[in-house]
Amino acid sequence: MKIAVVILNWNGTKLLEQFLPSIIKYSPEAVIYVADNASTDDSVAFIKANFPTVKIVINESNFGFAQGYNEALKHIDAEIYALVNSDVEVTENWLKPIIETFENEPKTAIIQPKILDYKRKEYFEYAGAAGGFIDKYGYPFCRGRVFETLEKDHGQYNDNCEIFWASGACFFIRSSVYKELKGFDADFFAHQEEIDLCWRVFNKGHQIKYNSQSVIYHVGGATLQQGNPKKTFLNFRNSLLMLVKNLPKKQLIPVLFIRLILDGIAGIQFLSQGKFKHCWAIIKAHFSFYALFSINYNKRAIVQSDKYYKVKSIVFQYYIKAGKVFEK
């Protein structure tokens, strides 16, 4: 199958220098692209000088993750897009099991590899781990990562299984499906846009898979660190927008009502910890959500499945019942 590995870049010369060599070395099956989001550093010149086999697509502006990929992929011809963060190290034969799955399973639209932590390679990485799920209220969690608890990789997820969402850190998708659903939602800018796309794919009846035979290592937070209030803003706002777009109509109001209460509790928790900027980020996220509500409500598809969630409340399971790991 014709596969394109596409790395979105913005002022990431150091990351490209560190991580692009492994992708070039271990991706003989693919054409490699760097999609540049109007960088102001020497990223483009660096690639041309040091990695002449890598193709470059230059966006007119810094469109963020969602629109950045949407714009770049208009210029890339492939059956499979492999969307890879610039802070990812890949391993030998990482593409082979992915290609085989796409070839043998026509209903599979999206695949995620096993994602381990680049800094602690025996542990799963926060952004995706061994495949993602959400609860009834839209809180995401992973096999190998529930909230802040990261599991050590003991081979417990050395399987190939269906999941609900795949991580944007390393995201394989059929180009036909990407185009059918018009790609990522540009209103999200960054964060949770891949979960939204997976939800829309799920509502269309396609499958999303995790394949443990493909292994990558992700730094995480290289472009926007975990403690950044902007990340808090985007995560809370985009999660609410995602619910409006994808929840079954009968569940929309009651689920949103509970979710807004839970977000308020999260804000109080940030206040109690002295994290005032994060509390303010949640408040701003809610105002932004209200402003975008009608626009995103109009994006709803005709059909939404009510079988989207793995557990009713991961917050209850984690904080009340002390289910800190996926198997609990």
Query: What DSSP letter does each residue of 139-206 carry, written as one string?
Result: -EEETTEETTEE-B-SSTT-SEEEESB--TTEEEEEHHHHHHTTSS-GGG-SSSHHHHHHHHHHHTT-
CA distance 88 to 68: 18
Question: Which sign does the torsion angle of CA 153, 212, 22, 88 carry?
Answer: negative
Question: Is residue 313 one of the residues assigned to a domain?
Answer: yes
- Same domain for 292 and 175, yes or no, is no
CA distance 237 to 217: 28
The number of residues making up the chain comes to 328
Q: How many domains does the chain have?
A: 2
In tens, the pLDDT along 43-82 reads: 999 999 999 999 999 999 999 999 999 999 999 999 999 9
**Structural domain of 268:** 229-320
Question: In the numeric block, which tokens belong to residue 224?
Answer: 């926007």
- Same domain for 62 and 210, yes or no, is yes
Question: Is residue 176 one of the residues assigned to a domain?
Answer: yes
Give the per-residue pLDDT at 227: 76
Question: Is residue 305 one of the residues assigned to a domain?
Answer: yes
Residue 251 burial class via C-beta count within 10 angstroms: exposed 0-12, middle 13-18, buried 19 and up:
middle
Question: Is residue 98 one of the residues assigned to a domain?
Answer: yes
Structure confidence at residue 220 as a pLDDT band (50, 70, 90): confident
What are residue 97's phi and psi, to 5 degrees? -65, -30
In tens, the pLDDT along 199-212 reads: 999 999 999 999 99
In tens, the pLDDT along 256-303 reads: 999 999 999 999 999 999 999 999 999 999 999 999 999 999 999 998
3-state helix vs strand vs coil in the chain, percent to 5: 40, 20, 40
Question: Is residue 41 one of the residues assigned to a domain?
Answer: yes
- Same domain for 238 and 213, yes or no, is no
In tens, the pLDDT along 300-327 reads: 999 899 999 999 999 999 999 999 999 9
The terminus-to-terminus CA distance of the chain in angstroms comes to 39
Give the per-residue pLDDT at 224: 54
Helices (H) and strands (E) in the chain, counts: 10, 13
Position of tokens 């690639």? 47
